[in-house]
Amino acid sequence: MFSRFSPTTARKTAAVEPVTIGCALLLGACSFACQARRSPLERLSPSATSAAVPPSAAGVAPRTAEPAQNPYLTEPSTQAPTDVNVAMQLPQPLLEPTPEQDPSQYVAANPPWPATLTEIYGSELIRRIKETAQRKGMKGVLINAWASWCGPCKVEMPLLLELDRRYEKRGIDVWFVSVDKSTEAARVEAVLRERAVPAPHYVVKGRLGYFKEALSPIWKGSLPSTFLFDADGRLRYYWGAQVFESELVPVLDDFLAGKPIDGMANFKVRRGSTDR
């Protein structure tokens, strides 16, 4: 059996066993060390150690339960999660770098593209939309980004071609832009020929990253992707996946009717389908 002694009591007790004295000294040292590690306020007020310290008082910010607001929304969204369309002010095209800023943007394609395909920068595409709209009296252009290796891109092409024929007289054209590399030129030409896609046959010129930003920073590269630009070259609506007639036609009709359509498609909500 061992008794608990403070260091002071151990020194005053002459008849204590040597082992007991050693243990008492060790316990006293541990107690002193623990006291030393406590704050001055705690050492002066022992009752303070048992009081619960709220997180804010301890310097830790309380976790907020509110989600971050979308920076592109013109106002906080009140739409239900089942809405097919997400109303928002889309980020607009960005200028590409100058040759001084990034010379690699202006390096010629290797191997070169054949003459049947038209290379175009994103900024040139936007400028051509505005010029064509002014010349032909158009109200807008659908730009479809696709690739020869993209199955859904080729599946939706017949629908877009049909819409091109249907809406051309109403003031909307459909243009296709391939994001393939020049090494895939033969495959690009084969797809365009098989689906009887009329000219112009555009292919991305320069770096794809700059081309995406030149159409809209909201486009991260998903294929297929379709953009509706108005006659001023302003992006009005964005579809970031394969589209169907029931998703395109209402937006195009409302756009031609002058109704507010600015936004993007919510592809997580589709009839008879689950999250993509």
The predicted model gives 177-184 an average pLDDT of 98
| Comparison of pLDDT for 68 and 179, the residue scoring more | 179
Does residue 70 carry a pLDDT above 50? no
Instruction: Give the residues across from 264 on adjacent strands.
Output: 86, 238
Closest of 219, 224, 237 to residue 179, by C-alpha = 224
pLDDT recorded at residue 86: 85
Task: Put the strands of the sheet holding 225-230 in their side by side order.
Answer: 85-87, 263-265, 235-239, 225-230, 140-146, 172-178, 201-204, 118-120
At residue 270, the pLDDT reads 46
Tens digits of per-residue pLDDT, 39-67?
Answer: 433 433 344 433 333 333 333 333 333 33
Q: Residue 201 in contact with residue 192, Cβ under 8 Å? A: yes
Q: 79-128, pLDDT tens digit by residue?
A: 444 467 788 889 899 989 999 999 999 999 999 999 999 999 999 999 99
The DSSP output letter for 271 is T
How far is the CA of 124 from the CAs of 12, 50, 237, in angstroms?
A: 96, 70, 20
- Residue 50's pLDDT is what? 38
Helix (H) or strand (E) holding 195: none
Say if residues 97 and 105 touch (Cβ distance below 8 Å): yes
Tokens of 236: 């009005």
**DSSP letters along 41-105, please?**
HHHH-GGGGGSPPPTTTTT-PPPP-SPPPPTT-SS-----TT-SEEE--PPPP-PPPPTTT-GGG
| pLDDT number for residue 269 | 46
Phi, psi of 183 (to 5 degrees): -70, -15
The fold of 85-265 is Glutaredoxin (3.40.30)
pLDDT of residue 197: 97
User: Per-residue confidence at 195, pLDDT binned at 50, 70, 90?
Assistant: very high
At residue 119, what are phi and psi to the nearest 5 degrees?
A: -70, 140
CA-based nearest residue to 197, from 226, 244, 221, 163: 163
245 pLDDT band, cuts 50/70/90, is: very high
| Average pLDDT of the chain, as a whole number | 77
Which pLDDT belongs to residue 113?
A: 97
Phi then psi dihedrals of residue 219, to 5 deg: -85, 115
DSSP classification of residue 182: G
Burial of 256 (0-12, 13-18, 19+ CB in 10 A): middle
Share of the chain above pLDDT 90, in %: 63
Question: What pLDDT, on a 0 to 100 scale, did the predictor assign at position 268?
Answer: 67
Question: Residue 153 phi/psi, 5° resolution?
Answer: -60, -45
The answer on pLDDT for 227 being more than 60 is: yes
Query: What's the CA gap between 19 and 2, in Å, rounded?
Result: 9
Examine the pLDDT at 170 and tell me if it is beyond 80: yes
Model confidence band, residue 68 (pLDDT cutoffs 50, 70, 90): very low
Question: Of the spans 12-16, 62-66, 272-276, which averages the highest pLDDT?
Answer: 12-16
pTM beyond 0.75: the answer is no
Distance between CA atoms of residues 109 and 28, nearest Å: 81
Whether pLDDT at 29 is above 50: no
The Cα 160–Cα 175 span in angstroms is: 9
Which amino acid, 113? W
Question: Which residues 6+ apart lie within 8 Å of 190 measured at CB?
Answer: 148
pLDDT above 80 (res 28): no
86 vs 223 pLDDT, higher one: 223
219: pLDDT strictly greater than 80: yes
Neighbours of 97 (CB within 10 A): 16
